[in-house]
Structure 1
Amino acid sequence: MLKKFIIYTDGAARGNPGRSASGYEIYENGKLVAGDVFYNGVNTNNFAEYNAVIKALEWCVKNSDPDKTEVELFSDSELVIGQLRGEYKVKAPRIKPLYRGAVELLSKFKKIDFNNVPRENNGISRVDKKLNIFLDKIEMGQISG
């Protein structure tokens, strides 16, 4: 039976570069099956966006038979979606290995769809809110980065 994961990813950096975090939510049949928010240290927003995509795809590979799985990826990063679609070149040296890692993971799946959506998209806004709460707690010293 064919599986389908719906993935919402986001990355944030307070300053660019600055304290950064990545997050994702993964849905199957309308149910949240996985999600995470994690600290990236001092990095760029693009690094955080890519790291979210990679961690979400790693979860999908680990928890499915990828050649029998479809993935629909939603991100508010026009750059990341454009690069993964092959529409934009990857120029930043620090991003190239992340891009290659994402492409390698994507190649494992039966089908992949990319969706560049505004931050106001419900899935993206949920992840974005979690990222900002997480970064606020780091800045207030409530959790360590």
Structure 2
Amino acid sequence: MIEVYTDGAARGNPGPAGVGIYIKAQGNKYEYSFSLDTTLSNHEAEFIAVIKALEICREQFPDEILSFRSDSKIVVDVIEADFTKNNVFQPLLNEIREKADPFPFFFIKWIPEKQNKHADELARKAI
């Protein structure tokens, strides 16, 4: 099982944004920071962090069980319910569905911010 910690950040809300991804896999640790070239809300950045992490996992850990963790209740609730009325979040949810589909299992769990500090630092570094 691959453990994936994701976080998104925006300076201003909306504003310049970045995502951080911290992965624990097979005894190794991987860190990723991505600057997003557009003005986004913090929530949008959080969704994009999950999308970017799924893309990384598809390349590096295909066919693995994925256990994601996020400190964004909105992201976790939307993904767990597999539903949103929010017109901004809907295409992001659709992309997460598409990118998660090839994996045998994809789980996401909410964690407190203090347990997600590593991904948070990577997201802030990306801004």
TM-score, normalization: structure 1? 0.79
Greater relative contact order (Cα < 8 A, sep 6+): 2
Q: Do residues 38 (structure 1) and 27 (structure 2) align?
A: no
The separation in 2 between residues aligned to 1:31 and 1:62, in whole angstroms, is 16
TM-superposed CA distance for 1:16, in Å, is 1.4
Q: Do residues 101 (structure 1) and 105 (structure 2) align?
A: no
What are the superposed Cα offsets for residues 1-46 of structure 1, whole Å, 9 maximum, x if unpaired?
A: xxx21100000112211111111011113421x3311122210111
- Per mean C-alpha deviation after superposition, the further-off stretch among 126-135 and 111-120 is 126-135
- The AA in structure 2 aligned to 1:53 is V
Which of 49, 52, 68 aligns to 1:52? It is 49
Contact 2:69 2:109 in 1 (8 A): yes
- The AA in structure 1 aligned to 2:113 is R
Q: Do residues 72 (structure 1) and 74 (structure 2) align?
A: no
Q: Do residues 8 (structure 1) and 5 (structure 2) align?
A: yes
**Which consecutive unaligned segments of at least 5 residues does structure 2 have?**
none
The separation in 1 between residues aligned to 2:18 and 2:77, in whole angstroms, is 21
Q: Do residues 22 (structure 1) and 19 (structure 2) align?
A: yes
Match of residue 130 from structure 1: 122
**Looking at CA atoms only, which structure, 1 or 2, has the larger radius of gyration?**
1
Match of residue 78 from structure 2: 83
**Which consecutive unaligned segments of at least 5 residues does structure 1 have?**
136-145
Equivalent residue of 2:86, what SS? coil
- Report the CA distance shift for 1:91/1:6 in structure 2 as closer, same or farther (over 3 A): same
TM-score, normalization: structure 2? 0.89
